[in-house]
């Protein structure tokens, strides 16, 4: 890159998340400078459709004026206040009320943080604190799932079930366990129905709880649909069976709705699409359309009562962030939720989501490099395979997903490749059917181009 260009200065100074830094020193960044609707533009003015809404998050696209106004108005009125030691402010109160009114199962209170990882960490500490407060300190183990993604702080990364987030970091920390990924395509036995596979996974969970001792197992963590693990939808009947086991042993269900929340799956919450009644719900990302960072933990009355008990039994709950419930992101989140209601974004997602799912299947199900097409609403994936009949993925050394996303950039679509070369789609919820078609035309072109580059 030219000296003193943004690209050259990025190479000189920036340390990027999830980036191969040796390659970055050679290739430099893609510098995005502005956005409009479902599109972003780089410094040279080249246009890209954002097929993942950034990081599954920019739900209202990249130029919503109402959100800009909401932030500006709140900054003028009260640019900061905090929530420690019973301080409060109207944006925090309004947003708490709106979230409780919209929750998928009866919820009682809301705690705010700044990211999905912080929200998950906070939920873990609430559960540990609650069980201490009510006199069962040994009930603290947590079970999550392989390929689940719950963030990268030390505790959230321990929930996460992806090897790259564990190895080299001495994770998971003690007391965090993982059960199988509910992915029928790869993990079902030959001839096993979805129902039978779901039953087997529920039995696995029960055996795990019994092996650890039910009196030591506090909570089970799950995304309704696994996002970063590859957009994995569970088999039919999975969550009702899992929840029956959890109830039997008094284990809390924590739904991580960081990607699935706010209509992504075609219902307000992924929990509604997948028949989950969570005790605790974690959300972020589309909560503020990602214009400012904010996340939330909703807890039911029973959990709240346990936490409240702690003040007299074990001492004040020692947890919270400077920016918990920060008024500016809270104001943006309030406006975001109002926009979802006013524009009936749910009705829009149902219609355009059905179109995207049909188009994904029509275009890619028979493609020689596509093993599985999956998804619902405006979240989906195609999984690339070297051998369609054997469901065999490519050798990771071929970096097929990375090659595809690079070609996608050339063709004007920003894509996301995950483990097993699964390519995820979660465009801004405001996308139109015509834009879905345009996006998938660019994806299809890139896929045909990558096909001649790889060995199968
Ligand atoms: N939970 C889920 C389901 C996520 O997809 C993510 C991020 O992608 C997180 C938690 C972590 O959120 P953050 O990156 O804001 O910490």
**Mutational pocket test of ligand 1: of 59, 117, 255, the residue with most ligand atoms within 8 Å of the beta carbon:** 117
Please state which CATH number belongs to domain 31-63+345-451. Answer: 3.90.1150.10
Q: How far apart are CA 75 and CA 443, in angstroms?
A: 40
Ligand 1 close to Cβ of residue 197 (< 6 A) = no
Domain boundaries for CATH 3.90.1150.10 within the chain: 31-63+345-451
Please state which CATH number belongs to domain 67-342. Answer: 3.40.640.10
**Which among 96, 122, 120 has a CA at the least distance from the CA of 109?**
96
The residue contributing the CA closest to ligand 1 atom 12 is: 116
**What number is the ipTM of this complex?**
0.99
Q: How far apart are CA 121 and CA 111, in angstroms?
A: 12
- Reduced to 3 states, what is the DSSP secondary structure of residue 31? coil
Phi, psi of 185 (to 5 degrees): -55, -45
Ligand 1 close to Cβ of residue 257 (< 6 A) = no
Q: Is 275 exposed, middle or buried (0-12, 13-18, 19+ CB in 10 A)?
A: middle
Query: What region, left, alpha or beta, does residue 431 occupy, with left being phi > 0 and alpha being psi -120 to 50 degrees?
Result: beta
Ligand 1 atom nearest the C-alpha of 55 is: 8
The pair of three-digit structure tokens given for residue 10, joined into one six-digit string: 């990025």
**Mutational pocket test of ligand 1: of 260, 276, 285, the residue with most ligand atoms within 8 Å of the beta carbon:** 285
Ligand 1 close to Cβ of residue 256 (< 6 A) = yes
pTM: 0.98
Q: How far apart are CA 433 and CA 208, in angstroms?
A: 45
Predicted confidence pLDDT, tens digits, the chain (456 residues): 888 999 999 999 999 999 999 999 999 999 999 999 999 999 999 999 999 999 999 999 999 999 999 999 999 999 999 999 999 999 999 999 999 999 999 999 999 999 999 999 999 999 999 999 999 999 999 999 999 999 999 999 999 999 999 999 999 999 999 999 999 999 999 999 999 999 999 999 999 999 999 999 999 999 999 999 999 999 999 999 999 999 999 999 999 999 999 999 999 999 999 999 999 999 999 999 999 999 999 999 999 999 999 999 999 999 999 999 999 999 999 999 999 999 999 999 999 999 999 999 999 999 999 999 999 999 999 999 999 999 999 999 999 999 999 999 999 999 999 999 999 999 999 999 999 999 999 999 999 999 999 988
Ligand 1 close to Cβ of residue 121 (< 6 A) = no
**Mutational pocket test of ligand 1: of 280, 284, 424, the residue with most ligand atoms within 8 Å of the beta carbon:** 284
Distance from Cα 52 to the centre of ligand 1, integer Å: 14
The pair of three-digit structure tokens given for residue 289, joined into one six-digit string: 């359309």
Q: How far apart are CA 339 and CA 334, in angstroms?
A: 9
Ligand 1 close to Cβ of residue 116 (< 6 A) = yes
Ligand 1 atom nearest the C-alpha of 148 is: 3
The pair of three-digit structure tokens given for residue 278, joined into one six-digit string: 């969570």
Domain boundaries for CATH 3.40.640.10 within the chain: 67-342
What element of type H or E holds 207? helix 194-212
Q: How far apart are CA 29 and CA 42, in angstroms?
A: 10
């Amino acid at each position: 890159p030219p000296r003193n260009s943004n690209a050259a200065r990025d190479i000189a100074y920036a340390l990027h998340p999830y980036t191969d830094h040796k390659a970055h020193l050679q290739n430099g960044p893609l510098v995005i400078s502005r956005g409009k609707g479902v599109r972003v533009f780089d410094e040279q003015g080249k246009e890209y459709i954002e097929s993942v809404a950034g990081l599954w998050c920019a739900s209202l696209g990249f130029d919503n004026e109402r959100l800009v106004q909401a932030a500006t108005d709140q900054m003028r009125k009260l640019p900061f206040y905090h929530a420690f030691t019973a301080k409060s402010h109207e944006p925090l109160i309004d947003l708490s009320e709106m979230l409780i009114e919209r929750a998928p199962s009866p919820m009682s209170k809301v705690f705010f943080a700044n990211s999905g990882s912080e929200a998950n960490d906070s939920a873990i500490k609430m559960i540990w604190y609650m069980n201490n407060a009510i006199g069962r300190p040994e009930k603290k183990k947590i079970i999550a799932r392989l390929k689940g993604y719950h963030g990268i702080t030390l505790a959230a990364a321990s929930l996460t079930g992806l090897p790259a987030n564990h190895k080299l970091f001495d994770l998971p920390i003690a007391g965090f366990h993982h059960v199988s990924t509910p992915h029928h395509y790869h993990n079902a036995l030959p001839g096993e129905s979805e129902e039978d596979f779901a039953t087997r996974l529920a039995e696995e969970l029960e055996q795990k709880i019994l092996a650890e001792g039910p009196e030591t197992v506090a909570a089970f963590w799950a995304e309704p649909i696994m996002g970063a693990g590859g957009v994995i939808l569970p088999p039919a009947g999975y969550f009702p069976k899992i929840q029956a086991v959890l109830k039997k042993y008094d284990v809390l269900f924590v739904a991580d709705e960081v990607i699935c929340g706010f209509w992504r799956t075609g219902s307000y919450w992924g929990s509604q699409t997948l028949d989950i009644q969570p005790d605790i719900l974690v959300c972020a990302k589309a909560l503020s359309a990602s214009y400012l960072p904010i996340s939330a933990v909703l807890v039911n009355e029973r959990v709240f009562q346990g936490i409240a008990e702690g003040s007299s039994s074990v001492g004040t709950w020692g947890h919270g962030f400077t920016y918990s419930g920060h008024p500016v992101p809270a104001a943006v989140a309030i406006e975001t939720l109002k926009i979802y209601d006013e524009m009936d974004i749910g009705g829009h997602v149902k219609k355009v989501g059905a179109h995207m799912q049909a188009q994904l299947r029509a275009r890619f199900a028979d493609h020689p490099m596509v093993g599985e097409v999956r998804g619902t609403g405006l979240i989906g994936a195609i999984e690339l395979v070297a051998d369609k009949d054997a469901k065999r993925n490519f050798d990771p050394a071929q970096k097929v997903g990375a090659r595809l996303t690079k070609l996608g950039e050339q063709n004007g679509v920003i894509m996301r490749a995950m483990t097993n070369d699964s390519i995820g789609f979660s465009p801004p919820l405001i996308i139109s059917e015509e834009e879905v078609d345009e996006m998938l035309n660019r994806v299809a072109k890139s896929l045909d181009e990558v096909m001649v580059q790889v060995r199968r």
